[in-house]
Chains A and B, each alone.
Chain A
Amino acid sequence: MSTLAQEFSKGIFKENPIFRLLLGMCPTLAVSITAINGFGMGVAALFVLLGSNLVIAALRNFIPSKVRIPAYILIIATFVTIVDMVLNAFTPDLHKALGIFIPLIVVNCIILGRAEAFARKNSVARSVIDALGMGVGFTLSLTILGIIRELFGKGSIFGVGVMGSAFEPMGILATAPGAFITLGIMLGFVNFMFKRLGIE
């Protein structure tokens, strides 16, 4: 049995959902245009993951295993609807920028993956820690990608200009091909770092 601290940190390093498990690639590519979008998406997914892991772990002895997948999807969809409405009410700009990718958190493989692989076999406390770790790992990765793409694509970080007026933004980083290429290179870099640091 791993300790709670290990349970938390595995989502950030060893089993980072984006860079290690390659889960949730669609929102990663689509919303990492700016740091704030990436961060917002990460927090939205973190909330859904937390809620679904909590409820699924609490109900794990009551959900018959034959219908577990539809039951999980229903629980996840409920939390996604809550996030959708909350974001629409309090941060309409972010809601508009993330667009269709908010309802699509339902089919984000990270969330169903954690429900199936972790929450249905573990206690509520451990599932919550697992969700926090995974969610923070996802948010961090998304924000880092967003910072890189915003810094070089627009010359700013979190909407604050930092590069000065002499900087010519690399427009491609803000477009679709830029998303694929940045993530591909980041993935190679992370693989390299993990090998260097001896984490496998």
Chain B
Amino acid sequence: MNLLAIVFVAILANNIVLNQFLGICPYLGVSKRIETSLGMGMAVIFVMAMSGIVTWIVYNYLLEPFGLVYLRTIAFILVIAGLVQLVETILKKTNPTLFRALGIYLPLITTNCTILGVALLNVQAGHNIIQTIVYAIAVAVGFTIALVIMAGIRERLELASVSSFLRGAAVSLVTAGILSLAFMGFKGMMTL
């Protein structure tokens, strides 16, 4: 599989939020301002790449050889939860600047279904280690792009006059729908 195709499809044609419905909670929760959504995006890129590598190793060298594939959900979620905790601890000691920038977003990531989702999708697609890393980073970049675009729209939406029943989540969802419609255009360009 062409690496470039993986990147294109993961970021645009099959965007993780707008097309695959993963990570909607942080998408609606953290997309109020551009700065916070960028911070969240960076944290997701970082953790996604790490968890992609670790879950690939766990699956191919631990679960598969011992015939424990049915335990993958339990194994992956434990690995991810542990990893997030580890990244947090290591960052705190070694790179306080980065920790301050990502700090508050890290704990939120454990419950972000994109991380577990991408780990499972990688296994399903039978990616090798290089494809896994590329795919994980591309998906996270796609997530960040969707998040930042949404934050930009929402910053203006604050000033618009919206019916009181639709204010908040409802109008955000409709906006996301229109955004998703725009991203559908990329689908015609390339599919895997």
Contact = CB atoms under 8 A, between A and B. Distances in A.
A191 B170 contact: yes
A188 B71 CA distance: 40
Interface centre among B21, B169, B176 (most CB of A within 10 A): B21
A107 B113 contact: yes
B174 A81 contact: no
Given A29-B21, A177-B184, A85 B165 contact: no
B81 A177 contact: no
A106 B24 CA distance: 15
Interface stretch (A69-77, A118-126, A158-166): A69-77
Contacts of B178: 177, 181
B23 interface: yes
Contact of B124 (A100, A172, A175, A178): A100
Interface residues of A, number: 42
A27 B113 CA distance: 10
A187 B169 contact: yes
A77 B77 contact: yes
A191 B177 CA distance: 19
Interface string A178-200: 11110111011101100100000
A156 B71 CA distance: 37
A87 interface: no
Q: Which 8 A-B pairs have the closest CB atoms?
A: A180-B177, A184-B173, A181-B177, A184-B174, A30-B21, A187-B170, A25-B24, A177-B181
A125 B18 CA distance: 40
B78 to A, nearest CB: 7
B70 interface: yes
B113 A187 contact: no
Nearest to B181: A177
Interface of A: 22-23, 25-27, 29-30, 69-70, 73-74, 77-78, 80-81, 84-85, 100, 103-104, 106-109, 112, 172, 175-181, 183-185, 187-189, 191-192, 195
Contact of B116 (A23, A106, A112, A192): A106
Contacts of A85: 70
B134 interface: no
B159 interface: no
Given A106-B116, A107-B111, A192-B165, A176 B18 contact: yes
A29 B147 CA distance: 17
B28 interface: yes
Given A73-B81, A184-B166, A195-B165, 16 more contacts: A25-B24, A26-B22, A69-B81, A70-B81, A74-B78, A77-B77, A81-B74, A84-B70, A100-B120, A100-B121, A176-B180, A178-B177, A181-B173, A184-B174, A185-B170, A188-B170
Given A73-B77, A73-B78, A112-B111, A26 B71 contact: no
Contact of A109 (B21, B71, B111, B172): B111
